[in-house]
Amino acid sequence: MDLVYVSERKIYGRLGMRPPATQSGVQASVKVPPLIEVSGNRTWEEPADPMAPHVLVEKAKRTIERRFAPVPFTTRNLQANQWISFDLDMAQVAVHEDSGRPPEDVALFVGQVVAETRGQPRDLEFMLCGSVQHLRTQVCAEGRMGSDTTWLHDLILEVERREENGLNVVPEFLNELMPYRRSEALIEEAAFGVQGWIGRKYPPSTRGRLRGHAIVLMDVDRPRGPSRLVLATPLYVEAVHEPEPRPGRRIAFPGIRRRTNTS
């Protein structure tokens, strides 16, 4: 399997695993030509013999299954902080804040389960969101996240900041994380909007199969709504390559290229 995204910080913090080196604040800037430039703080030094990312992920998988009993992302009535597993075709992009400028600093993964499949009575939208610093591949930079989505951009980075400082619990109500609070209804509408435009730009025929484990941020399941939305923050995402694609189906990962620097 090819690792697409790995949050070592989240794995260590959420699973109680100790990083292989003492923590240290180190400024870093990583350029991933030609699409993304990533700048930020690293929270531990690289050890002389670091644990390979795929080894860390395999260890994390065993720990998650043994200690947390993750449920499929399609499970009804998910709660904030609940562990979920996912395996579906998804598109991925990098974006920046609506009124800001590049570089893109947020990574988004979008997928859908259509009604009457996997036991879903109506369409289920699924969106993973995290920092581009955890990407192990290059992705398509899509520019602005969209109008009225500043809260979502800031929320994603705030979750990352909290985890960097050892705060690994997400409040039940996401607006408690932000210095400016908005109603839950407006928050949900913005999330649906971002998921919608990515889904339209990258239809199912252009997506690739991804799987992994994540932590639920919110489960928007309005009784009268046309679809349900699950928003989550991933621990890791890996690409699954099918040996023999079904007729008429193209396996593709838009904009993805392997990156040799996994720091």
Which amino acid is located at 67 in the chain? R
Q: Are 204 and 251 in contact (CB under 8 A)?
A: no
Higher pLDDT among residues 152 and 233, named by residue: 233
pTM of the entire predicted model: 0.79
pLDDT at 247: 53
pLDDT at 17: 77
pLDDT at 37: 38
Q: Are 30 and 261 in contact (CB under 8 A)?
A: yes
E-assigned strand segments in the chain:
2-6, 23-32, 36-44, 71-72, 83-96, 106-113, 123-131, 137-138, 140-144, 208-220, 227-239, 257-258
pLDDT band at 244 (very low <50, low <70, confident <90, very high): low
- pLDDT tens per residue, range 57-70: 999 999 999 999 99
